[in-house]
Structure 1
Amino acid sequence: MTTHIRHGIGNLRPYIHGPLSLIEFITQVFNAIELERHVFGSESCHVELNIDGSVLVIEAGQLPEGAEGWLNSLYIYVPDVNATYQTAIKLGAESIAEPEDKPYQERQAAFKDLGGNTWWISTYFGSENP
């Protein structure tokens, strides 16, 4: 375990913002495991999620006075693009690109989550990594 990194994994972490409902959305879409949660009143919290060995940090709900929300674009590999995409859409995501095979040996799709962040999801189907 690496001692200078929280939870010992993921020295580079996406840090996103969105409504409180974003936490459950991400947990369901990506089968995320909650590592940590800090609740600040009834309107905000800080959550760290493990998604297949990567850590995602979410500031959810109301931000501190003077802070503004931010949007991100994330690229994540998933075992099944079609299933992940359908789950996201069913849970209220906005479609950007339906699943399709790309010339670089990946099946890819994209959606906006409940906070407006863009997720590019992909499954590599090539026979070996370049």
Structure 2
Amino acid sequence: MASKVKPVPEGFHTVTPYLVVDGADKVINFMKEAFGAQPVFEPMMRPDGKVMHAEYKIGNSIVMISDSSERAQATSTMLYLYVPNVDAVYQKALKAGATSLMEPADQFYGDRSGGVKDPAGNSWHIGTHIEDVSPADLKKRATEYMKQQHKAA
């Protein structure tokens, strides 16, 4: 009897990011240098030398990536990446060619996070969870945060 095929392949999660970019090779190098991304398999290349499809593992997740084409236009997106040490990974990302969007800081929702932009314009918000916040406290903190933001504007 044949084994049953899983609806979500091994190593994947229900939601998996797929980046379509101009310059996939640059973003792949960035992910490798900044986040320790490892190839799941050798990237599939198009005849023009651009990336048709690649998969890279970062932590326990897989990111799919390809160069843009007539059928798939480049788009930028925002990703949130949990790491053990946000400050160290933020610095690695800058050294790998990212530009800073936000230096790491403690956030009201229980994470310490910072943000960078990769060579293709994708935003990577990098976080380390530092505190469990109850839904009630989260609501209070969010309300206070919004009041402070309104005063600053």
TM-score (norm 1): 0.85
Q: Do residues 34 (structure 1) and 47 (structure 2) align?
A: no
The structure carrying a bigger helix percent of its residues is 2
Give the unaligned 5+ runs of structure 2. 135-153
Once the two structures are overlaid, the 10-residue window that deviates more, 7-16 or 75-84, is 7-16
SS class of match (1:29): helix
TM-score (norm 2): 0.74
Tell me which structure has the larger Cα radius of gyration. 2
SS class of match (2:40): strand
Q: Please, what is the CA RMSD of the aligned residues?
A: 2.0
Residue equivalent to 2:59: 52
Could you tell me how far apart the structure 2 residues matched to 1:80 and 1:35 are?
24
Alignment equivalent of 2:101, drawn from 89, 96, 115:
96
Once the two structures are overlaid, the 10-residue window that deviates more, 9-18 or 94-103, is 9-18
**Runs of at least 4 residues off by over 4 Å:** none
Aligned length: 127
The structure carrying a bigger strand percent of its residues is 1
Residue 2 of structure 1 contacts residue 8 of structure 1 at CA under 8 Å; is this kept in 2? no
Cα 1:116/1:6, change in 2 over 3 Å: same
Q: What percentage of aligned pairs have identical amino acids?
A: 31
The one-letter code sitting in structure 2 at the alignment partner of 1:49 is Y
Could you tell me how far apart the structure 1 residues matched to 2:63 and 2:71 are?
23
